[in-house]
Structure 1
Amino acid sequence: MDTCNGPQNKKQVLFIIGATGTGKSKLSIYLATHFPAEIVNSDKMQVYRGLDVVTNKVPEEEQCGVPHHLIGMLDPNADFKVADFCFLASETIESILERDRLPIIVGGSNTYIEALVDAESFEFRSKYDCCFIWMDVSLEVLDAYVSKRVDQMVHAGLVNEVKNMFEPEADYNSGIRRSIGVPEMDRYIRLESTADEETRKELLKAAIDETKSNTYKLACRQYKKIQRLQNLPWWNVHRIDATNVFLKEGREAAELWELLVGKPSIEIVEKFLYGCNVCIASA
């Protein structure tokens, strides 16, 4: 890439951040089809193998041929810490840059992203210029969307996914079983075989409702974390408000997404890569 790296000739890394359900993956793939780029997952649950529906992994057929890294690579029971992510992400970013491509870091685990960027041990800011695109959707609108998305995940097989890896003595505080949607299904799965039909329906509804509630709570926590990061002087965050897109459906939503999300994001990345002293966050 013919980029302008600034006075210290730093390499460039793009981050796409946002609460769960805001469309970060869609935007990352969209940008990676417009620029020579590869995607690095920073979602702490998507790094594990399995539970593709529960963890909302992007199906391979929707990845548009864009290389994805750090996704579905770990044993479901593995202990994966922030430091592990930082180490693997740093190695992956370097390998992408060596291929003269742009690393796009995308995911909702802002703790991982903050640790990667700000931890002195990785000297990230001394090595790279960073640009952050924040996919923002109002929490009120996102709440309704999250509820709808959980229903879609249930329809796509969420319950059977959880059943297939259910273990009575499983630890819901480690590995992939921490994923929202797994512990919430525990009571339903345990009682399903002995409960009558009415009770099964009530148990399943309660599990789904709890999954929706916990997903929204996660989105709220993520939103507050990003607001904090946005206010830090060394975080160069560009906010894209996609709220109106989520209020539309079908072709109208697609056209509005292109106008309010796609086009502005391309402009941000173009300035970051090719425009000197614009959209660059230095140490």
Structure 2
Amino acid sequence: MALRLPLVVILGATGSGKTKLSLELARKFKGEIISADSMQVYKGLDIITAKATKEEQSVALHHLIDILEPHESFTVVEYRNSALKIIDNLIKRNKLPIIVGGTNYYIESLLWKILIEEPGDHVKAPPSRYLDHELPSEELHKKLKLLDPEMARRLHPNNKRKILRSLEVLHQKGKQHSRILDEQRSAEGASATGGPLRFPNAVILKLDCEKEILDQRLNQRVDKMIEDGLLHELANFHKQYNESRIKNSEIPDYTKGVFQSIGFKEFHSYLTLPEDEKNTEKGHQELAKCIEQLKLVTRRYAKKQNKWTRNRFLGRRDREVPPMYGLDVSDLSKWEEKVTQPAIEIIQSFINGSECNHLPLPMEPVATSVPNSLDNTHFCDVCDRIFVGEVQWKEHLGSNRHRKRLLKLK
């Protein structure tokens, strides 16, 4: 029987053991690893972004790690285009592609045909004044409303990044963003979110861990980062990229590039203390606060990742989802039995085209408040707020805050 290599995707919350499993599978199947982490594409901050160590990277070739300078921008479209070239090359060389990461937008962009191709320059474009990035978000939204009212209806007026993206698509492709998305959804196998599956033989391995155990591991992980030199890493990075801006009274921007990374902005108050204050009681207290804040946001991020996986993969009613197999990582003493061996057996069954002894997780449709590109915006004139999507809108109408304001007005 001819071998057919699947596309292997390892999903799981931060700290669940994705790197460990990816290395085991790469070693077993002579595969290569493609990072799907939006922070690991940047150079620097190796500890806080939990990159595979140099020793771990020597086990198997890793792609899309350390490819950008900290200040550079990198869109999900750019990631997708880079990753697809690597996947195609690996399959041609009969190498197993293993996608690993916690940035689900990146993973979705590979699994489904959901994003518009890079705009071409051979079409007539609207005047460039519509692409003034310095304009306030509301002004840009008004322009979009004139040029592509359907897309404007789907976007919150404060979502400047997506508004600009729609204007750029219109400017560079000469066609409304909403129209392109509608055409994409009309393809066979497509859904409300976008186009059909890109890889019919993809398989997803989802690492599951009991919440209390994962929270404890994440706290310990932060402590280990401190032991491994996190403060030194942050201090050097701050000195190289942030210190001069602060001296010039510029506000540090934690919304772009690797500066968005969880763990950098949380230490801002400590990093900006004068050196002679860091070893004082005040400095120690500030550092303790930063460490606790990092633990808190890390736990929240893990919860958000798990929720996203449920909503966008197991909870979807309207699109084809690759089989997803749950692997319980709660008991590390049973890793081989509960994680490594089942994962190997699942992948081997895909390669051989044989029946798999493990059952995929059942689909569990859920009502999600995660907006998609078909959602309408709703304006509440009572609360003077805008909501995207029916779920968020209904939740707001039933909220105590809305009811109290409504009663007050009456």
Verify same fold: TM over 0.5: yes
In the alignment, the residues of structure 1 paired with residue 335 and residue 355 of structure 2 have an alpha-carbon distance, to the nearest angstrom, of 28
Task: Judge which range, 188-197 or 99-108, deviates more.
Answer: 188-197
Query: Number of residues paired by the alignment?
Result: 266
Task: Judge which range, 128-137 or 144-153, deviates more.
Answer: 128-137
In the alignment, the residues of structure 1 paired with residue 355 and residue 336 of structure 2 have an alpha-carbon distance, to the nearest angstrom, of 27
CA contact (8 A) 1:12 1:273 kept: yes
Q: Please name the residue that 2:203 is paired with.
A: 131
Runs of 4+ in 1 over 6 A off after TM superposition: none
Question: Which TM-score applies when normalising by structure 1?
Answer: 0.88
Q: Secondary structure at the match of 1:125?
A: coil
CA contact (8 A) 1:130 1:280 kept: no
The reply to whether residue 48 of structure 1 matches residue 42 of structure 2 is yes
Structure 1 residue 127: Cα displacement: 4.5
Q: Please name the residue that 1:63 is paired with.
A: 57
The reply to whether residue 206 of structure 1 matches residue 262 of structure 2 is no
Q: Please name the residue that 2:322 is paired with.
A: 235
In the alignment, the residues of structure 1 paired with residue 90 and residue 50 of structure 2 have an alpha-carbon distance, to the nearest angstrom, of 24
CA contact (8 A) 2:32 2:61 kept: yes
The reply to whether residue 111 of structure 1 matches residue 111 of structure 2 is no
The reply to whether residue 184 of structure 1 matches residue 266 of structure 2 is yes
Structure 1 residue 235: Cα displacement: 3.2
In the alignment, the residues of structure 2 paired with residue 277 and residue 27 of structure 1 have an alpha-carbon distance, to the nearest angstrom, of 22
The reply to whether residue 273 of structure 1 matches residue 355 of structure 2 is no
- Which structure has more relative contact order (CA 8 Å, sep 6+)? It is 1
In the alignment, the residues of structure 2 paired with residue 31 and residue 192 of structure 1 have an alpha-carbon distance, to the nearest angstrom, of 47
Q: Deviations over 1:131-175 (max 9, x none)?
A: 000011112111110000001001111111111121134311111
In the alignment, the residues of structure 2 paired with residue 272 and residue 59 of structure 1 have an alpha-carbon distance, to the nearest angstrom, of 30
Q: Please name the residue that 1:193 is paired with.
A: 275
CA contact (8 A) 2:6 2:347 kept: no
Identical positions, percent: 35
Task: Judge which range, 50-59 or 61-70, deviates more.
Answer: 61-70
Name the CA shift for 1:172/1:162 in 2 (closer, same or farther; >3 Å): same
CA contact (8 A) 1:135 1:239 kept: yes
* Aligned with 1:257 (options 313, 316, 335): 335
Task: Judge which range, 223-232 or 29-38, deviates more.
Answer: 223-232
* Aligned with 2:235 (options 154, 163, 168): 163
* Aligned with 1:223 (options 266, 288, 306): 306
CA RMSD between the two structures: 2.2
In the alignment, the residues of structure 1 paired with residue 58 and residue 342 of structure 2 have an alpha-carbon distance, to the nearest angstrom, of 21
Question: Which TM-score applies when normalising by structure 2?
Answer: 0.61
Q: Please name the residue that 2:179 is paired with.
A: none
In the alignment, the residues of structure 2 paired with residue 200 and residue 192 of structure 1 have an alpha-carbon distance, to the nearest angstrom, of 9
In the alignment, residue 219 of structure 2 is paired with which amino acid?
S
Q: Deviations over 1:41-71 (max 9, x none)?
A: 0011111111111111111212353110001
Higher Cα Rg, which structure: 2
Q: Secondary structure at the match of 1:33?
A: helix
Structure 1 residue 191: Cα displacement: 1.5
CA contact (8 A) 2:112 2:198 kept: no
Structure 1 residue 230: Cα displacement: 2.1
In the alignment, the residues of structure 2 paired with residue 223 and residue 19 of structure 1 have an alpha-carbon distance, to the nearest angstrom, of 6
Unaligned runs of 5+ in 1: 5-10, 246-252
In the alignment, the residues of structure 2 paired with residue 214 and residue 101 of structure 1 have an alpha-carbon distance, to the nearest angstrom, of 37
In the alignment, the residues of structure 1 paired with residue 271 and residue 199 of structure 2 have an alpha-carbon distance, to the nearest angstrom, of 49
CA contact (8 A) 1:29 1:64 kept: no
In the alignment, the residues of structure 1 paired with residue 95 and residue 60 of structure 2 have an alpha-carbon distance, to the nearest angstrom, of 11
The reply to whether residue 145 of structure 1 matches residue 223 of structure 2 is no
Structure 1 residue 80: Cα displacement: 1.1
Q: Secondary structure at the match of 2:288?
A: helix
Name the CA shift for 1:126/1:210 in 2 (closer, same or farther; >3 Å): closer
